[in-house]
Amino acid sequence: MFLIFKPVIGGCPRYLGAPHLAARAALRGGAGLVTLALPESAGVLPRQAAIIVRRVPDDGRGSLSQASLPLLAELIEAADAVVVGPGLGPEPCVLAMLKDLLVEEVPMVIDADALNHLAGCPELADRPCPTVLTPHPGEMFRLLSGFKLELLKQADRLTQARGLAAHLGATVVLKGHRTVLAAPDHPALINTSGCPALATAGSGDVLAGFLGAFLAADVPAHDAAMAAVFLHGLAGELWPGAQRSLTADDLVDLLSTAIREASPFG
Sequence-distant (≥ 6) Cβ neighbours of residue 29 within 8 angstroms = 209, 210, 211, 212, 213, 214, 228, 255, 259
pLDDT category at 129 given cuts 50, 70, 90 is: very high
What would the mean pLDDT of 110-136 be, rounded to a whole number? 95
What would the mean pLDDT of 65-77 be, rounded to a whole number? 91
For the cut 50, the answer to whether the pLDDT of residue 81 exceeds it is yes
User: Distances in Å between the alpha carbon of 133 and those of 110, 235, 246?
Assistant: 5, 21, 25
What would the mean pLDDT of 146-156 be, rounded to a whole number? 96
For the cut 50, the answer to whether the pLDDT of residue 4 exceeds it is no
pLDDT category at 3 given cuts 50, 70, 90 is: very low
For the cut 70, the answer to whether the pLDDT of residue 7 exceeds it is no
What per-residue confidence (pLDDT) applies to 2?
37
- CB of 37 within 8 A of CB of 104? no
For the cut 90, the answer to whether the pLDDT of residue 29 exceeds it is yes
What per-residue confidence (pLDDT) applies to 53?
87
What per-residue confidence (pLDDT) applies to 5?
55
Q: Which residue has the higher pLDDT, 8 or 1?
A: 8
For the cut 60, the answer to whether the pLDDT of residue 180 exceeds it is yes
Domains and CATH numbers, the chain: 3-262 (3.40.1190.20)
Q: How far apart are CA 47 and CA 205, in angstroms?
A: 18
Report the mean per-residue pLDDT for the chain.
Answer: 91
Strand 51-56 and strand 131-134: the pairing is: unpaired
Fill in the amino acid letter for 139.
E
In this structure, the number of other CB atoms found within 10 A of the CB of residue 242 comes to 8
What per-residue confidence (pLDDT) applies to 1?
29
What would the mean pLDDT of 76-105 be, rounded to a whole number? 92
For the cut 60, the answer to whether the pLDDT of residue 175 exceeds it is yes
Return left, alpha or beta for 31; rule: phi > 0 is left, psi -120 to 50 is alpha, else beta.
beta
What would the mean pLDDT of 187-194 be, rounded to a whole number? 97
User: Distances in Å between the alpha carbon of 248 and those of 69, 122, 204, 222, 245?
Assistant: 30, 33, 9, 24, 10
* Start-to-end C-alpha separation, the chain: 17
What per-residue confidence (pLDDT) applies to 264?
72
Three-state SS at 137: helix
Residue-wise pLDDT tens digits, 225-245: 999 999 999 999 999 998 899
What per-residue confidence (pLDDT) applies to 50?
86
